[in-house]
Amino acid sequence: MKPAPFEYRAPDTLQEALTLLAENGFDAKLLAGGQSLIPVMNFRLAQPGVIIDLNRVSGLDQIDVLSDGQVSIGAMVRQATLEKSDLIRTRLPLLHQTIPFIAHPQIRNRGTIGGSLAHADPAAELPVISVALQAQFKLQNQSGERLVGAESFYKALFETELGEDEILTEVIFPATPTRTGYAFHELARRHGDYAQAGAAAVITLDEAGRCQNARLIYLNVGDIPMSASQAADMLTGNQLNDSLIEAAARHAADHEIEPGGDVHASAAYKRHLAFVLGKRAIYQARTAAQQLS
Amino acid sequence: MTQILITVTINGREETKHVEPRLLLSDFIRHDLGLTGTHVGCEHGVCGACTILFNGEAVRSCLMLAVQANGQTLETVESLGTPDNMHPLQQAFHEAHALQCGYCTPGFLMTLKPWLKENPNPNDHEIREALSGNLCRCTGYQHIVDAVKKTTDLRQQTTD
């Protein structure tokens, strides 16, 4: 298994990379960590004419706290760096606790946040987390930059808002609100494999202990990260007791996801998993929020 | 096809070669440099047999291009020890029967080398977690976990 021939370019600056991308358009592919791109090239499922390697581009691997408490993460920050970062652990606990679910240590040493987000695999963890946390993606081309919310970035299976001449350069996560708990659960046949289904929950409580805000995002039960906004609405404004959590998780699994069956899991089984994992995630996020209140 | 001139430092030695951009790092190490200790199993990042150190970090060499290693430092299993003077990890694998056919072993060793530096006293769960990206079809893993514990025990004895 060897990749088909291609031309290799390794620019030192973002400007150079953007120029190369504009010149080569659809025939070019950006190489970040390569942990998804190289396998599909080895299988010859992808045969790009030009590889633009971003690994030598300076300035894309910073983690910064912005003045208003937002956290900015450069697209080329490795998953292993996020895993070991105290800043990420304290400021973005959901992101931090989800990293160990991504493949294996060797993969995380190379895999990048930007690569994973732009690749848009519905079974990948980082797109789900970015939607759950309402991250903003900075997309740049030769004429400028724009910010796109994670939820509107994902269009369809492996299809995103990213234009042919654009590079995802930075991800900006909002500051963590107070009295907010997080949880992520997934089920995979073996640890590190792509999960059959997963769920992330973000629960903010008000001073009286009622749910002030809820977000519930599902992994690998649709073509993109699936947001269960009706189930979240069922929770909002209410005390999160067992029967309400169960009803919301049931609604999400029955009405707000679109699982396709595959050789390892039928669509019905994935719905069942989404119910169980969603319920578990809401419980855990609620309990974590209560402990912070 | 255009060839690109690259220089890598591998196991402390500098090597300069012309390579095609599509040449995988694993094939460069085996075919161009003749270091066949790095094994190639699945060639799509699942089995871990091709694990090497890239600037000190364990990576899958089948998921990188040789051109990406230009100017970088690589270490392969050949850097560990010799049959007469084995690395403590190799010695522990030998003593604990942590291999049968041995095909996966170089990947396990190279995964463990930097990890044990960062995690000198791991428990069973942590060891299994660290090795989750390496497949072994012979041993059932228990003897590999035993070997890692043997290594950490030996190290504690020598530092005590």
pLDDT confidence of residue A190: 86
- A106/B2 touch (CB, cutoff 8 Å), yes or no: no
> Can you list the residues of chain A whose pLDDT is less than 70?
1
Residues A186 and A168 in one domain: no
CATH number at residue A270: 3.30.390.50
- B22/A6 touch (CB, cutoff 8 Å), yes or no: yes
CA–CA separation, A112 vs A35, rounded Å?
Answer: 9
A126, A151, A173 — which closes off a domain? A173
- Read off the pLDDT band of B153 (50, 70, 90): confident
Mean pLDDT of B154-159: 62
Q: B 130-149 residues with CB below 8 A of A? A: 130, 132-134
CB atoms inside a 10 Å sphere around CB A31: 22
Task: Give alpha helix (H) positions in chain B.
Answer: 25-27, 88-95, 105-118, 124-130, 142-159
- B19 chain-A contacts, CB cut-off 8 A: none
* Element counts in chain A: helices (H) and strands (E): 12, 14
Residues A260 and A185 in one domain: yes
* Burial class for A245, CB neighbours closer than 10 Å (0-12, 13-18, 19+): buried
pLDDT in tens, A104-131: 999 999 999 999 999 999 999 999 999 9
- Tell me how far CA of residue B80 lies from CA of A105, B26, B37, B76, B106, in angstroms: 21, 18, 11, 8, 10
Which candidate from A3, A42, A192 shows the least CB-CB separation from B132?
A: A192
Tell me the ipTM for this assembly.
Answer: 0.94
E strand spans, B11-110: 13-19, 51-54, 57-60, 73-75
pLDDT confidence of residue B160: 46
- Asked whether residue A224 is domain-assigned, the answer is yes
pLDDT confidence of residue A113: 98
Which candidate from A1, A5, A107 shows the least CB-CB separation from B43?
A: A1
CATH number at residue A31: 3.30.43.10
Tokens encoding A284: 């855990």
Q: At residue A285, what is the residue type?
A: A
The yes-or-no verdict on residue B52 having pLDDT over 70 is yes
Residue A29 sits in which domain range?
7-53
Residues A234 and A215 in one domain: yes
CA–CA separation, A117 vs A137, rounded Å?
Answer: 9
- Read off the pLDDT band of B1 (50, 70, 90): low
- B64/A7 touch (CB, cutoff 8 Å), yes or no: no
Tokens encoding A77: 């920050």
Tokens encoding A271: 């719905």
A110, A143, A173 — which closes off a domain? A173
Give the β-pairing of A197-205 and A180-187.
antiparallel
Mapped onto helix, strand or coil, the DSSP state of residue A214 is strand
pLDDT in tens, B111-144: 999 999 999 999 999 999 999 999 999 999 999 9
CA B158 to centroid of chain Cα atoms = 24
Mean pLDDT of B66-84: 97
Residues A90 and A169 in one domain: yes
- B43/A191 touch (CB, cutoff 8 Å), yes or no: no
- Asked whether residue A58 is domain-assigned, the answer is no
CA–CA separation, A52 vs A222, rounded Å?
Answer: 30
CA–CA separation, A173 vs A65, rounded Å?
Answer: 10
Residues A232 and A269 in one domain: yes
Residues A85 and A124 in one domain: yes
Which domains occur in chain B, in start order?
A: 4-79 (3.10.20.30), 88-159 (1.10.150.120)
Tokens encoding A90: 């304290």
Residues A32 and A106 in one domain: no
- Tell me how far CA of residue B158 lies from CA of B88, B89, B122, B153, in angstroms: 11, 14, 17, 9
Residues A157 and A208 in one domain: no
- Read off the pLDDT band of B158 (50, 70, 90): low
Task: Give alpha helix (H) positions in chain A.
Answer: 14-24, 37-42, 79-84, 86-91, 93-98, 105-110, 113-119, 125-132, 150-153, 229-235, 242-255, 267-292
- A38/B115 touch (CB, cutoff 8 Å), yes or no: no
pLDDT confidence of residue B110: 98
- Asked whether residue A238 is domain-assigned, the answer is yes
- B58 chain-A contacts, CB cut-off 8 A: 105-106, 109
CATH number at residue A78: 3.30.465.10
pLDDT confidence of residue A293: 78
- Asked whether residue A45 is domain-assigned, the answer is yes
- Asked whether residue A2 is domain-assigned, the answer is no
- Asked whether residue A272 is domain-assigned, the answer is yes
**In chain A, how many domains are there?**
3
